[in-house]
């Protein structure tokens, strides 16, 4: 790391300039490894459980966990549904071999199909997708007992857009990658040795065949990340972004997704009745008296 004022120039919002998203990967890697190690120790746990889908987010998470805790203390879970691709399976295996953590395969087809077999009405594919995400998470939590923590793999872009299932893929004990936009996470992925074929493939939740994140969202991560960066990190108003040349429809749509899905990012509301209420005015840190 260099000291002193190495950065020069003003950061301007410009739809054609993705450079403000660049990160110091060495520093970020160090901070995230320490975060995983420290917060797991504070919880008096020693293992990490990561749902490894074969995608880049869980690849980065499991690689960092392996570095922080040692491969013997990391369990990767590959939980395919019958529509999951063979490529995802190969990629999960590649990661397990490269980083040395144990990978267990737990298919979820039977239980998901059995549940919906008993449902009379026509089921929307989003419902099936949500059920799959929650099924997977319940398995991760089960496998974390008694001394493990479930690591979250939702990145900042997904969390802000609300592009995830509440109490499904969004659920976790701690999340090391939740403050990295997708673009930044890919950059980090390459620097910590995640194979290019995993980093470069089109992101998908694989909840139904042919689904891709960018196809479903209607914009690319590169576009969304830059808008979100200026809107959230740099606090620019949507109107200011449009003045600087960002597409008005895109900005409005992203801003609306962030607003509408905020409920997914906060704890459930508790009705205030007493003199002191959890979440309202009973405010203790989570690391209360932790080592």
Partner 1 sequence: MSIRIAVAQCAPALGAVKRNLDMHMKWIARAKTAGARLVVFPELSLTGYYLKDLAADVACAADDPQLLPIAEASRELDISAGFVERSADAKLHIAQGHWSGGKLVHIHRKVYLPTYGIFDDGRYFGPGDRFDTYRWAGGTTGVAICEDLWHVSTPYLYAAAGATIVLAPSASPGRGVAEGGDLGTAESCRLMDRFYASYLTVYVVYVNRVGHEDGIAFWGGSEIVAPDGTVAARAPEFDEDLLIGEIDPELVARERARNPLLRDEREDIVLRNIAGRLGLPFDRRD
Structure tokens at 148: 């493990």
For the stretch 272-290, what's the b/e string if a residue is b when 16 or more beta carbons lie within 10 angstroms of its beta carbon? eeeeeeeeeeeeeeeeeee
Among 15, 18, 20, 71, binds partner 1 (CB under 8 A): 20
Q: Does 125 bind partner 1 (CB under 8 A)?
A: no
Distances (CA, A) of 25 to 59, 63, 158, 288: 16, 14, 20, 31
Q: Which is nearer to partner 1, 39 or 213 (CB)?
A: 39
Residue pointed to by tokens 């299932």? 165
* Angle at the Cα of 216 from the Cα atoms of 205 and 207, rounded to 5 degrees: 30
31 scored as a contact of partner 1 (CB under 8 A): yes
Question: Could you say which residues in the range 249-268 bind partner 1, by CB under 8 A?
Answer: none
Tell me if 285 contacts partner 1 by CB under 8 A: yes
Q: Residue from 17, 105, 147, 287 that binds partner 1 (CB under 8 A)?
A: 287
Contacting range for partner 1; rule: CB under 8 A; set: 26-34, 105-113, 145-153, 202-210: 26-34
- Residue 118: C-alpha distances to residues 112, 113, 115, 121, 130 (Å): 10, 9, 6, 9, 17
Residue from 122, 146, 273, 284 in contact with partner 1 (CB under 8 A): 284
CA distance 149 to 8: 41
The answer to whether 225 contacts partner 1 (rule: CB under 8 A) is: no
Nearest to 152 by CA among 166, 136, 170: 170
Using CB atoms within 10 A of its CB, is residue 224 exposed (0-12), middle (13-18) or buried (19+)?
A: buried
Write phi, then psi, for 52 (nearest 5 degrees): -100, 110
**Which is nearer to partner 1, 40 or 133 (by Cβ)?**
40
Taking CB under 8 A as the rule, does residue 10 contact partner 1? no
* Among residues 121, 124, 196, 289, the one that binds partner 1 under rule CB under 8 A: 289
From the CB of 166, what's the least distance to partner 1, in Å? Answer: 20
Does position 30 interact with partner 1 (CB under 8 A)? The reply is: yes
> Which range touches partner 1 (CB under 8 A), out of 19-27, 50-58, 109-117, 198-206?
19-27
Q: Does 6 bind partner 1 (CB under 8 A)?
A: yes
Does position 190 interact with partner 1 (CB under 8 A)? The reply is no
**Spatial separation of the C-alpha atoms in residues 21 and 184, rounded to whole Å:** 7
Q: Is 288 in the site for partner 1 (CB under 8 A)?
A: yes
**Residue from 15, 18, 42, 106 binding partner 1 (CB under 8 A):** 42
- Per residue, the 3-state secondary structure of 56-115, as one string, reads HHHHHHHHHHHHHHCHHHEEEEECCCCCCCHHHHHHHHHHHHHHCCEEEECCCHHHHHHH
Minimum Å distance from CB 5 to partner 1?
A: 7
Residue 199 CB, shortest distance to partner 1, in Å, is 18
CB nearer to partner 1: pick between 171 and 205: 171
49: left (phi over 0), alpha (psi -120 to 50) or beta: beta
Q: Which of 115, 116, 263, 282 binds partner 1 (CB under 8 A)?
A: 282
The binding site for partner 1 (CB under 8 A) comprises: 1-7, 20, 22-24, 27-28, 30-31, 34-35, 38-39, 42, 174, 282-291
């Amino acid at each position: 790391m260099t000291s002193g004022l190495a950065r020069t120039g003003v950061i301007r919002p410009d739809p054609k300039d993705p450079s403000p998203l660049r990160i110091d990967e060495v520093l970020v890697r160090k901070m995230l490894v320490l975060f995983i190690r420290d917060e797991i120790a504070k919880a008096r746990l020693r293992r990490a459980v990561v749902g490894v889908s074969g995608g880049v987010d869980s690849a980065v998470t499991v690689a960092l966990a392996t570095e922080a805790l040692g491969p013997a203390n990391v369990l990767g879970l590959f939980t395919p549904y019958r529509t999951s691709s063979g490529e995802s399976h190969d990629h999960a295996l590649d990661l397990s071999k490269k980083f040395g953590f144990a990978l267990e395969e737990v298919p979820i087809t039977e239980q998901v199909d059995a549940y919906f077999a008993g449902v009379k009405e026509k089921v929307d594919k989003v419902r099936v997708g949500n059920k799959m995400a929650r099924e997977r998470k319940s398995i991760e939590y089960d496998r974390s007992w008694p001394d493990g923590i479930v690591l979250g793999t939702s990145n900042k872009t997904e969390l802000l857009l609300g592009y995830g299932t509440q109490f499904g893929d969004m659920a976790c004990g701690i999340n090391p990658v939740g403050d990295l936009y997708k673009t930044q996470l890919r950059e980090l992925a390459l620097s910590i040795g995640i194979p290019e074929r995993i980093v470069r493939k089109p992101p998908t939740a694989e909840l139904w065949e042919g689904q891709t994140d960018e196809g479903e969202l209607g914009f690319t991560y590169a576009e969304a990340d830059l808008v979100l960066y200026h809107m959230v990190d740099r606090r620019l108003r949507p109107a200011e972004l449009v003045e600087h040349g960002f597409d008005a429809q895109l900005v409005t749509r992203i801003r609306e997704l962030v607003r509408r899905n905020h409920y997914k990012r906060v704890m459930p509301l508790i009705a205030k009745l007493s003199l002191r209420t959890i979440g309202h005015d009973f405010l203790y840190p989570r690391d209360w008296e932790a080592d």
